[in-house]
Amino acid sequence: MPSLKQLSEREERLSSGHRLCAGCGASVAVRQILISTELPIIACASTGCLEVATTIYPFTAWKIPFIHNAFENAAATISGVESMYRALKKRGRIPDRKIKFVAFGGDGGTYDIGLQSLSGALERGHDFTYVCYDNQAYMNTGIQRSSATPIGANTTTSPCGDEIPGKRGQRKNLTQIVAAHDVPYAAQSTPSHYMDLIRKAQKAIETDGPTFLNVLSPCPRGWRSDATSFADLGKTAVETCVWPLYEIEDGDYVLNGTTKRIADGKKDKLPVEEWLKLQGRFKHLFKDPSGKAVIEEAQSKIDRDWDRLKTLASI
Amino acid sequence: MQRSMPLNGDDSAAYAMRQIDPDVVAAYPITPQTELMQNFAQFHADGDVRTELITVESEHSAMSACVGASAAGGRVMTATSSQGLALMWEILYIAASYRLPIAMNVINRALSGPINIHCDHSDSMGSRDTGWLQIYGENPQEAYDNTIQAVRIAEHMDLRLPVMCMQDGFITSHAVERVDMLEDEVVQEFVGEFEPQYPLLDLENPVTYGPLDLYDYFFEHKMQQIDAMSRAEKVVREIGKEYEKISGRSYQMLETFGMEDAETAVIVLSSTAGTTRSTVKDLREQGKKVGMVKIRCFRPFPTDELIDVLKGVKVVGTLDRSDGLGAYGAPLFNETRNTLYDEDEKPDVVDYVFGLGGRDIGKREITDVYSQLEKIASTGEVERRISYLGVRE
Amino acid sequence: MSEKPGWKHIPPAGLILEAGNAEDYKTGDWRTERPVIDREKCTNCLICWINCPDLSIIVENGEFKEFDLDHCKGCGICATVCPRKAIHMESER
């Protein structure tokens, strides 16, 4: 695992001058992922914050070859690029060197509209890495709910109103859906835990075959939190097991860092309130007595998922 | 030496693809395209082609993968019909605006609903404004020849636009006819090596495809596409002439039969041109001055040449295998009338919508059409501008 | 302010051919606060650098060199993650 000093000597693949919000968790994540390997990368991004803010004509923040196609097809598009690479290498029309392919999609473009295209690409076994920067809603279009939005969250299409306290229903577990495709490598991480994310990104990119990273990306705007809460949010998400850090390598589950310590009983698992109270999108749950029931539902799902994860990791 | 084989349109298009040996094909099954891709998959499994075949999980992903592959910098082909073409709809626009020279066979089939697997042109007509070139083939021979030419047309350096080649579902795709096939080496030499433009795989010159345009640049980018389309006719003709040299078969924007002194004429696309041609032969034997214009290239539309071939014609009937649903007449009727509008002397144009959902049309119906055109020519009266042939009331 | 180029003078297909030219777009005027470093406290751990969304921490030879104030949006993440509290945010006014 290279040190930060060694990483700082690498050439960055994203430039400054992009127009993601001040304090955007996704841009930190993407920077860390792109610097994790020295192999050449060709990237694709689905429509969303990342793509829109990094490529406002005539400016591009991408220093590597990049394609944006549409919203739901980052995985299908990168399948095409990767296949052409293999086709041309086979025919000797391009030099025989290793190139890696990384597709980026937000939770909207991955959990929802892009799920089919992701599933297809994983099943066909293309050599690529799919990175989902999960900020838990359709942020680019103005904070609408996605299937990654946690229960109770206030979004513009699941607002907290007089009768309904924010998003109803729990969020999907995409990492588990991906795991069901039997891919060589899949992992969950978050950029505040940069060593964890960089290590996993390097592994994901440098492993042959379809690999997946689900990266919780704090969004100050959509989560109604301070930009400076970035590290706190990441830390608390892990400590409450809202976002456990783990990897699945050839079907074997490994828990990482703080998540492992909690599973081993060496650290306390914090109640979900600690995570919720950091963000304005949940503040209505604390004001209204009806919010209590929602918080309980949120907690019980976290607990169920946590127990399942521990079982899968044989703990 | 060309080899004659009994093939249907799905076969002949697949054979053409085999001889072209594209770098990447991404496709999804749909009736009546299925046999085409099944044939190609067999060629692939037998090692007859070195194509990377991506059997995607939907047509939307098929065209998405084609866009990725083409932008990466190689030769890309695919095929679909009907709902599949409709599902790719948003990506068709993207492929054309990214100037990607993808060649696609569209086996014409009606768009649902209700669901129908038989031939009409609602699918390709529905995508006539996507920025793709549109070429119709009458029979398996043309399906073969068009597929080969499509690659060169699309990749022409003056153009770089995607091309779709249509053939009638079941009528052409599943009916066996004689097809004269060129030798493998001749096809290989004709299509030549793919010349990449701004390929993603060129790591030394990293490019960004698909940025966000605000209102300060989108219009300019569209103008570039409009400008490219204005060169499309020239390219279709140029490639057609080159292809004639190696095949002996002539291909341009349209084809005429019996138009030298025709007083009435029918304008038609695709396989129904065969039926029409036979009808014209019969009527000519009876001394009737009738003719047929077969439109081969629908996008871009052959305006100048059509005006030319229709000079002196009194009444024209357009045969439309799709409807305009709310427009005044169906697509071919609209293009024709629009083309003729500025002419001082122009024929009267009436529309016949036929064959929706594979409803058959025969020489009897077309003979009837010519009788009606003759009546309009002699009386100067149009009883009905738009008619629907063969539908039960 | 130069006039924008016409369709005959830009690359086809909406392509952007100058990789990373977003650097020419100065996002520094977005901020209301700017980071200030106390070099005595800084140990060059580079934790601020790896967490900056805007590549606005310039590192040279493994050492903190300076902030890129042309691009820094003043988010304050660097100040919060620095283990030595060597960075604090000051109002732009």
Interface contact C62-A24, CB threshold 8 A: no
Contacts of B200 in chain C (CB under 8 A): none
> pLDDT tens, A134-148?
999 999 999 999 999
Per DSSP, C29 falls in state: G
Taking the mean position of all CA atoms in its chain, how far away is CA A297? 23
Give the residue among A204, A201, A182, A183 at the shortest CA–CA distance from A191. A201
Per DSSP, A216 falls in state: E
At a CB cut-off of 8 Å and minimum separation 6, what does B14 contact?
A: B35, B36, B37, B39, B40, B43
Its pTM stands at 0.97
Q: What is the pLDDT of residue B270?
A: 98
C63 to chain A: closest CA residue: A5
Amino acid at A8: S
Q: How far is A63 from chain C (nearest CA, A)?
A: 5
Contacts of C45 in chain A (CB under 8 A): 4
- How many beta-carbon pairs below 8 A join chains B and C? 47
pLDDT beyond 80 at C1:
no
For A82, the 3-state DSSP assignment is helix
Of C4, C7, C19, the CB nearest to B224: C7
The residues that bridge with A92 in the sheet, in sequence order, are: none
Q: What is the pLDDT of residue A288?
A: 82
Per DSSP, C14 falls in state: G
Query: ∠ at Cα B39 (A90, B358), nearest 5°?
Result: 135
First to last CA, chain A: 26
Of A65, A68, A82, the CB nearest to B206: A65
Of B97, B227, B228, the CB nearest to C14: B97
Taking the mean position of all CA atoms in its chain, how far away is CA C64? 13
- How many beta-carbon pairs below 8 A join chains A and C? 125
Give the residue among A147, A148, A118, A159 at the shortest CA–CA distance from A280. A159
Which segments within B171-289 are labelled E, that is strand? 177-181, 208-209, 254-257, 264-269
B93 to chain C: closest CA residue: C13
**C-alpha Rg value of chain B to the nearest Å:** 21
Interface contact C16-B208, CB threshold 8 A: yes
CA A144 to CA A157: how far, in whole Å? 5
Where do the domains of chain C lie, and which CATH numbers do they carry? 26-91 (3.30.70.20)
Q: Identify residues of A whose CB sits under 8 angstroms from chain B CBs.
A: 40, 42, 44, 51-52, 55-58, 60, 62-70, 72-73, 76-88, 90-91, 93-94, 99, 116-117, 119-120, 123-124
Query: CATH assignment of A4-312, given 3.90.1150.10, 3.10.180.10, 3.40.50.280, 3.40.50.970?
Result: 3.40.50.970
Q: In this structure, are residues A84 and B52 in contact, taking their beta carbons and an 8 Å threshold?
A: yes
User: At A15, phi and psi to the nearest 5?
Assistant: -100, 170
Interface contact C7-B209, CB threshold 8 A: no
> pLDDT tens, A171-182?
999 999 999 999
Give the residue among C31, C80, C32 at the shortest CA–CA distance from C54. C31
Of A8, A22, A57, the CB nearest to C73: A22
Q: What is the pLDDT of residue A289?
A: 86
- How many beta-carbon pairs below 8 A join chains A and B? 164
Q: How far is A305 from chain C (nearest CA, A)?
A: 29
The residue extents of the domains of chain B are: 3-247, 254-388
Q: What is the pLDDT of residue B173?
A: 98
Which H or E run includes A87? helix A74-90
Interface-testing mutation among B20, B24, B216, with chain A (most A C-beta atoms within 10 A): B24
Q: Identify residues of C whose CB sits under 8 angstroms from chain A CBs.
A: 10, 14, 16, 18-27, 30-31, 45-47, 49-56, 59, 62, 68, 70-71, 73-77, 79-81
CA distances from A64 to A32, A53, A101, B267 (A): 15, 16, 11, 51
The DSSP secondary structure of A23-67, one letter per residue, reads: T-HHHHHHHHHHHS--S-EEEEE-TTHHHHHH-BTT---BSS-EE
Q: How confident is the model at residue A185 (pLDDT cuts 50, 70, 90)?
A: very high
C7 touches chain B (CB under 8 A): yes
Per DSSP, A296 falls in state: H
> pLDDT tens, A198-208?
999 999 999 99
Q: What is the pLDDT of residue C93?
A: 80
C77 to chain A: closest CA residue: A228
Q: What is the pLDDT of residue B253?
A: 98
CA A127 to CA A79: how far, in whole Å? 8
- In the sheet that B52-55 helps form, which strands lie side by side, from edge to edge? B52-55, B24-27, B76-80, B103-108, B163-168, B133-137, B297-299
For A151, the 3-state DSSP assignment is coil
> pLDDT tens, A28-76?
999 999 999 999 999 999 999 999 999 999 999 999 999 999 999 999 9
C25 touches chain B (CB under 8 A): no
Q: Centre a 10 Å sphere on the Cβ of residue B226 and count the other Cβ atoms it contains.
A: 11
A48 to chain B: closest CA residue: B212
The DSSP secondary structure of A159-202, one letter per residue, reads: -B-SS-BS--SPPP-HHHHHHTTT-SEEEEE-TTSHHHHHHHHH
pLDDT in tens, chain B (393 residues): 899 999 999 999 999 999 999 999 999 999 999 999 999 999 999 999 999 999 999 999 999 999 999 999 999 999 999 999 999 999 999 999 999 999 999 999 999 999 999 999 999 999 999 999 999 999 999 999 999 999 999 999 999 999 999 999 999 999 999 999 999 999 999 999 999 999 999 999 999 999 999 999 999 999 999 999 999 999 999 999 999 999 999 999 999 999 999 999 999 999 999 999 999 999 999 999 999 999 999 999 999 999 999 999 999 999 999 998 999 999 999 999 999 999 999 999 999 999 999 999 999 999 999 999 999 999 999 999 999 999 999
Please check whether the two domains, B3-247 and B254-388, share a CATH topology. yes
Contacts of A232 in chain C (CB under 8 A): 80
CA B316 to CA C69: how far, in whole Å? 71
Q: What is the pLDDT of residue B1?
A: 87
Q: What is the pLDDT of residue A119?
A: 98
CA B25 to CA B37: how far, in whole Å? 10
Which H or E run includes A106? strand A100-106
Interface contact B213-A57, CB threshold 8 A: yes
CATH superfamily entry for domain B3-247: Thiamin diphosphate (ThDP)-binding fold, Pyr/PP domains (3.40.50.970)
Alpha helices in B75-167 (DSSP H): 82-87, 89-97, 122-126, 140-155
Please report the ipTM that was assigned to this predicted complex: 0.96
Name the architecture of domain B254-388: 3-Layer(aba) Sandwich (3.40)
Interface contact B207-C19, CB threshold 8 A: yes
> pLDDT tens, A93-103?
999 999 999 99
Which segments within chain B are labelled E, that is strand? 3-7, 24-27, 52-55, 76-80, 103-108, 133-137, 163-168, 177-181, 208-209, 254-257, 264-269, 290-295, 297-299, 315-320, 348-353, 386-388
Name chain C's partners: 3 or more CB pairs within 8 A. Answer: A, B
Interface contact A91-B23, CB threshold 8 A: yes
Contacts of B223 in chain C (CB under 8 A): 7
Contacts of B196 in chain C (CB under 8 A): none
Of B211, B220, B228, the CB nearest to C16: B211
Interface-testing mutation among C31, C80, C85, C89, with chain A (most A C-beta atoms within 10 A): C80
CA B49 to CA A90: how far, in whole Å? 12
Looking only at the bridges linking them, the beta strands covering B264-269 and B290-295 are parallel
CA B321 to CA B353: how far, in whole Å? 6
Which H or E run includes A109? none
Query: ∠ at Cα B298 (B295, B301), nearest 5°?
Result: 100
The residues that bridge with B137 in the sheet, in sequence order, are: B167
Interface-testing mutation among C1, C2, C3, C7, with chain B (most B C-beta atoms within 10 A): C7
CA A114 to CA A212: how far, in whole Å? 14
